[in-house]
Chains A and B, each alone.
Chain A
Amino acid sequence: MNESQQEFFEEQLLSISKGFDYPRTPDIAGSVLTRLRTFPSPSGRLRSAPQGGGRGERHPRFISRRLAWSLTVILVLFSSLMLIPPARAAIIEFIQIGVVRIFRAEPAPPDQGTPVTATPGPTSQPLIPILESLAGEMTLEEAQKAVDYPILLPAYPANLGPPDRVFVQDVGGYMTVLVWIDPQQPDRVLMSLHFIPAGSWAIDKMKPKLIQETTVNGQRTIWAEGPYPVRFSNGNVDFIRLINGHVLIWTDGKITYRLETDLPLEEALKIAESLQPIKR
């Protein structure tokens, strides 16, 4: 490309990119200011403008995010228990299953809440372009060699077949995620199955729309329906997501299993109970 060609090309790029349809910019300032004023910051600076412009006391510099989060949760739980009336104490109830904690808004009697029925068909986002850029993809055989626990595959439904995508990532332990693509909509995910070793990720779900206890092969299991925010943290990465799908969570003590799907509970249970080691 000579100089004039490059100039023309650059002009075109400038012109076309001006038409790019960005999502609306969210209220970053509001969120940042709230976080500065509300939560402890890593450097321990004062959150609001101190008179005279001084600095606050510093907290230890290398406090880990997980520890900070744990401390926050403990503080919230403790202060809530101390200060709020008993009627509101249920707000801080949570269920722990494997690496997942589920905070719920209020004790939900079994006959309350939204009935568990078949949910509408998948309304998920196209995911494949995002999956393409993610690290840790390998074959199922390679994945099984990489992890020290058996990767289990569903035998139900019979026509499901092996996962379309397999990822193993080191998140303090080797987490495996199997992804099945919807054959009717190849840019959609039908379901995913996560194997999360103990001690790797901490996952907190905040007040799902519906929480139901059930069992998978006799193991205590939680079924949660969105929408609800989920907080993921592993000491290095810490982020919050709004989830609107359903998830079945159970553990065998060493591994926490998460089956994410838009299928109803009955189907999810059948899939979970059909898991078996890879046949050689």
Chain B
Amino acid sequence: MDESTLIRHAANGDAAAWEPLVLAHQEAVFRLSYLLLGDPDDAEDIAQETFLRAWNHLKRFDPTRPLRPWLLSIASNLASNRRRSAGRYLSALMRAFRNEPVSSTSIEEKSTQHMEASDLWKAVRNLNLSDQQIIYLRYFLDLSVTEAAEVLQVAEGTIKSRLSRALERLRGIIKQDFPVLAERHEGSDS
């Protein structure tokens, strides 16, 4: 069954039809949530909530449209709210006492590529939330301008201008605080 057929079935209460859709999009939803929140547990909460909310509003969704931008839009809103909520605050404090590491990979073991990507993420996290969202969608999740516009519910032209401003700010941060990354981008100055 194609996506639109599955959406129609799910919208009629067929949970079995919802499962392959969740499976198809769970990684993108989880990853965006993780990028925005920086914690895998928070990201899992948000991803679950995203699919539950979407399920509850499927009747209002046009099944001819692609599902992923809508899901990412819900996830992005939920993650933004979580960033501001006391819940995140409490959960952050709780994490300080857990034994299990978030990732078993030590900094030393990470490849240069991972380190660069991690530095880039740190740099992006210095931007405001709106800039972060657009950069995660466009580059980390590799969405097209059209898809990013659907997620953020703005016109494509708006995405382009916002992206341009966000990149300018990101470049400034990288130059100032991430010299190793900046070296790699020297070509962009030439």
Q: Which residue of B lies closest to A39 (CB)?
A: B52
In the complex, A31 Cα to B47 Cα: how many Å?
Answer: 10
Q: Could you tell me how many residues of chain A have their Cβ less than 8 Å away from some Cβ of chain B?
A: 82
Partner of B91, one of A49, A241, A260: A241
Q: Which segment, of B10-18, B61-69, B146-154, faces chain A?
A: B10-18
In the complex, A127 Cα to B141 Cα: how many Å?
Answer: 26
Q: Which of A164-191 contact B (CB under 8 A)?
A: 167, 169-171, 175, 177, 179, 188-189
Given contacts A47-B15, A136-B89, contact A19 B47 (CB under 8 A): no
Partner of B102, one of A5, A125, A177: A125
Q: In terms of DSSP, what is the predominant structure of the interface of chain B?
A: helix
Are B52 and A239 within 8 A (Cβ)?
no
Are A237 and B48 within 8 A (Cβ)?
no
Partner of B171, one of A1, A133, A201: A1
* A interface residue numbers (CB < 8 A to B): 1, 5-6, 8-10, 12-14, 16-23, 25-26, 28-29, 31-33, 35-37, 41-43, 45-50, 53-56, 123-125, 127, 129-131, 133-136, 167, 169-171, 175, 177, 179, 188-189, 192, 194, 201, 226-227, 230, 232, 234, 236-246, 260-262
* B interface residue numbers (CB < 8 A to A): 9, 12-19, 22-23, 26-27, 29-31, 34, 38-41, 43-45, 47-48, 51-52, 55-56, 83-103, 105, 110-111, 113-114, 116-118, 120-121, 125, 135, 139-140, 142, 164, 167-168, 171, 181, 184-185, 187-189
Chain B residues with CB under 8 A of A55: 12-13
In the complex, A180 Cα to B19 Cα: how many Å?
Answer: 44
Our count of residue pairs bridging A and B at CB distance below 8 angstroms stands at 226
Are B86 and A53 within 8 A (Cβ)?
no
Are A130 and B38 within 8 A (Cβ)?
yes
Are B92 and A130 within 8 A (Cβ)?
yes
Least Cβ distance of B14 to chain A in Å?
4
Partner of A29, one of B23, B92, B167: B23
Are A53 and B30 within 8 A (Cβ)?
no
In the complex, A56 Cα to B12 Cα: how many Å?
Answer: 10
Partner of A175, one of B27, B86, B100, B189: B86
Least Cβ distance of B148 to chain A in Å?
13
Given A19-B114, A28-B51, 17 new contacts (CB under 8 A): A9-B167, A12-B185, A17-B117, A17-B139, A23-B103, A25-B31, A28-B26, A29-B22, A49-B13, A49-B15, A124-B96, A130-B38, A130-B39, A135-B89, A189-B97, A245-B94, A246-B97
